[in-house]
Amino acid sequence: MPHLYVHVPFCRRRCVYCDFAIAVRRTIPGERFVDAILREAALRGTPEPDVESATLYFGGGTPSLLAPHQLARLIDAFAPAPRAEVTLEANPDDVTGENARGWANAGINRVSLGVQSFDDGVLRWMHRTHTAADARNAVATARDAGIENVSLDLIFGLPAALGCDWERDVEMALECAPDHVSVYGLTVEARTPLRRWVERGSIPAVDEGRYEREYLLAHEELEAAGFDHYEISNYARPDRRAVHNGVYWSGAPYVGLGPSAHSFDGETRRWNVRDWARYETIVCGDADPVENAEHLTPAQQRLERVLLGLRTVAGVEAASSGSFPSWLREAVAAGWVQAHDGSLRLTPVGWLRIDELLPRLTTFLEGG
């Protein structure tokens, strides 16, 4: 059964750190967008007749800018299984009572809120359109509407000059009693306002020491509150892990629809054109909007399995510790890697060093 991702590119404004494929619009062309997605789905044969979607994820961009009835059109067309996870990424200021009830009636049962911070000054710096109060209210509003599974996104590693209190952000998130929390370190991406500010020296580059301290603080606070740190950036209460995102980490097949959306069949990855206007023109001309594709060799597939496995608490299969090279024994002794029951897994400290460890671990696991 297919796992479906729908990329909704529209935003009211671009955040300072964002390099995603978005289209800033005052007026959201929701009906045109839904028509284009359904046309692409028909061109791709997705979903196949009588095949229910195992998960359905609306990402962006800002999917919550679509009207509830427009989301309902897509959900009805894709026919997710009765108990399937159907996720909507939402800005907190879009979570009104009317919208949330409309989402729930349409079949949305999980909302991922882009909170990012509970500091209003930081939110203004980020160019976010909501306030801390909006974020707190959004959780309650979603639950009042019957959407019980609520996830919060937070960003750490912000410039010290902003005066953001990361510990307070984590505590405020916990006060909202979410089911899931994702924490992402601030990264300086190309073609973003943040990159321009760093290049001209008005904002310093990320402080690695601060980055590590805040990441480990989140790990300690969230695990102490009963969350399972099950993937580098993700924490969940029991039975609340993100099912759809787990598809990516397991290497399972999925289908992506919309501008810049990626699809994967287990061997070949393909991705659509990035620009919304170009995507719409291509699809409305009954052509495939795919921009490019790559076929993974067996070696590349093995590499991906290692990388994805090391991102999760499950880790990867490995030989007995008696055959470990000295560098790996040192990594285990340093607390970066754990070896248990024939598997290797990274600790939170190890996850911070995954770029350093991955090449050596890949060579080791391949018998090199």
Q: Of 41, 102, 33, 28, nearest to 72 (Cα)?
A: 102
Tell me 204's DSSP state: P
- Angular region, 341: left φ>0, alpha ψ -120 to 50, beta rest: left
List the pLDDT tens digit at each of the 368 positions of the chain: 589 999 999 999 999 999 888 999 999 999 999 999 999 999 988 776 667 778 999 999 999 999 999 999 999 999 888 889 999 999 999 999 999 999 999 999 999 999 999 999 999 999 999 999 999 999 999 999 999 999 999 999 999 989 999 999 999 999 999 999 999 999 988 889 999 998 898 888 778 899 999 999 999 999 999 999 999 999 999 999 999 999 999 989 999 999 999 999 999 999 999 999 999 999 999 999 999 999 999 888 888 888 899 999 999 988 655 678 899 989 999 999 998 778 899 999 999 999 889 888 888 887 75
Reported as half-sphere exposure (CB side, CA atoms, 13 A), residue 298 has a value of: 1
pTM score: 0.94
Q: Which residues make Cβ contacts (< 8 Å) with residue 14, sequence separation at least 6?
A: 22, 24, 127, 193
Q: Which residues make Cβ contacts (< 8 Å) with residue 284, sequence separation at least 6?
A: 35, 36, 39
Work out the percent of the chain whose per-residue pLDDT is above 70: 97
> What gap in Å lies between CA 211 and CA 207, rounded to an integer?
6
Crossing angle for the helix pair 354-365 and 298-310, to the nearest 10 degrees: 130
Crossing angle for the helix pair 298-310 and 243-250, to the nearest 10 degrees: 140
CA distances from 331 to 306, 325, 367 (A): 17, 10, 18
Element of type H or E holding 136 = helix 132-144
Q: What are phi and psi of 60, to 5 degrees?
A: -165, -155
Q: Which two tokens stand for residue 97?
A: 């009572």
Sheet holding 343-346: strands in order across?
316-317, 343-346, 337-340
Taking each continuous run of H as one helix and of E as one strand, the counts in the chain are: 14, 17
Q: Is 57 exposed, middle or buried (0-12, 13-18, 19+ CB in 10 A)?
A: buried
CA-based torsion, 137, 10, 85, 145: positive or negative: positive
Angle at 214 between CA 12 and CA 172, to 5 degrees: 60
Q: Which two tokens stand for residue 278?
A: 């170009």
Domains of the chain: 3-249 (3.20.20.70), 298-365 (no CATH)
